[in-house]
Structure 1
Amino acid sequence: MLPFEEERLTEEKWRAIIDNNAAYDARFIYAVKTTGIFCRPSCKSREPKMENVRIFKNAEQALSAHFRPCKRCKPTGGRLPDIDWVAQITQCIDTNYSETLTLETLADMCHGSPYHLHRTFKKIKGMTPVEYAQQTRMDKAKQYLIHSDKTIADIGLSVGLPNASYFITLFKKKTGHTPADYRQLYRNKSITEVSYDGSQK
């Protein structure tokens, strides 16, 4: 349980956020559930969806609710370390993998420039943000293939790859199998394990 009462998003506060009104910077902080980031009202970041906004009295409350400070508007007054910013981006991809995630979209969501985001993410994670998004989508696709009866096209759509042929090509490139083959291989393996009498180790 949080040691404070979260504030209500009033019409006045919502207007301050969408107008980037600096006059409200000392009055409240807002966080966005889908990105895990909190900002000053004056931040020039992309306008969030109203239902994803949470209001806090100050940066300390937002931090205690496990949100991270925006790299652009610096609501804690300090510079956000690169490793924390990359953790923000990673969380953002993990949460929004089913959406269209270009480098520009991610930079906008995580409040930085595309070039700096690409360079910093690769330095910390050893891969680009787009490569990480692809890996996340393939991991989610594997779970769907193993644990659901969704069609290949539906799985592609569920992981943010609505073009079925591109999804199949990318999946084969990353795993060495088509989605259909991967599903069949896993199911054959499960059947073998179930029928195995366990007398040998």
Structure 2
Amino acid sequence: MMMRQPSNPGQPVPVQLSFDDKWAIVIACDASYDGQFVTAVKTTGIYCRPSCRSRKPKKVNVAFMETNEQAEQAGYRACKRCQPEVERAPQEELASRIIGFLTEHHKRKLALQDLADYIGMSAYYLERQFKQTTSLTPRAYLEKLRIGKACALLADTELTHLEICYEVGFRSPSSFYKAFSRHMLCAPGEYRERRRRLGPERSAENG
């Protein structure tokens, strides 16, 4: 299956996002959407990047705008923490786009060349630039992403280990178990049991 490619090499593909889509991105502090829209907070008069780590406002107090200029014309000022008015270095923008692609397609079988075709540059250069920015290769980042999603499913669902393995994008149980043990220093079953033991304690603390 062919990957969707940008109309102009090196430029992101425009994505139509609903208000709820954008709100979910803001809650996740997803840096892959920085530059696609800004979050304006009505109660403070400040606008931020989607990835801003400041305390989240109430959903009812948020408006989304396409550009910094639009936000400033509406009377909002730039957040001093995330500095949306400051352009990112090209390497950071590239890493952000790669992370967004990996997050969206983590369930698929992906090769480095798939990323290179999507971004519009050589696989060697893409991997080199990404590693300089994140200290990880795209492959290592994808594995880490999949393990994070597996942890969430182990903690919050009753899916079997095999179901989780394929749900998060691993191609075989053996590769899943090896990767999980390497990242979490325990087996999936041990992780699930540990989280379940912590559940009642947390409930008691919160009660």
TM range (shorter): 0.5 to 0.7
RMSD, aligned α-carbons = 3.2
Aligned pairs (5 A) from 1:1-201:
38-40=6-8, 81-195=90-204
Q: Quick one: distance in 2 between partners of 1:153 and 1:117?
A: 32
Deviation at 1:197, TM superposition (A): 9.2
Residues 143-187 of structure 1: CA deviation (Å, up to 9, x unaligned): 110111111011110111030121011101110011111011000
Runs ≥4 in structure 1, deviation > 4 angstroms? 63-66, 195-198
Unpaired runs of at least 5, structure 1: 1-17, 19-33, 55-62, 67-79
Secondary structure of the equivalent of 1:122?
helix
- The alignment's TM-score, normalised by the length of structure 2, stands at 0.57
Q: Partner letter of residue 111 of structure 1?
A: G
Question: Number of matched residues?
Answer: 136
Unpaired runs of at least 5, structure 2: 17-35, 38-65, 68-88
Q: Quick one: distance in 2 between partners of 1:189 and 1:113?
A: 46
Secondary structure of the equivalent of 1:85?
helix
Q: Which has the higher contact order (CA 8 A, sep 6+)?
A: 2
Asked if the contact 1:97–1:137 (Cα under 8 Å) also holds between the matched residues in 2, the reply is yes
CA separation of 1:194/1:111 partners in 2, compared to 1, >3 Å: closer, same or farther? same
- The alignment's TM-score, normalised by the length of structure 1, stands at 0.59
Task: Tell which structure's C-alpha radius of gyration is larger.
Answer: 1
Secondary structure of the equivalent of 2:116?
helix
Deviation at 1:38, TM superposition (A): 3.9
Give the equivalent residue in structure 2 for 1:10. none
Asked if the contact 1:98–1:158 (Cα under 8 Å) also holds between the matched residues in 2, the reply is yes
Q: Quick one: distance in 2 between partners of 1:96 and 1:197?
A: 36
Asked if the contact 1:153–1:162 (Cα under 8 Å) also holds between the matched residues in 2, the reply is no
Asked if the contact 2:6–2:119 (Cα under 8 Å) also holds between the matched residues in 1, the reply is no
Residues 5-55 of structure 1: CA deviation (Å, up to 9, x unaligned): xxxxxxxxxxxxx9xxxxxxxxxxxxxxx97x7424xx6xxxx9xxx988x
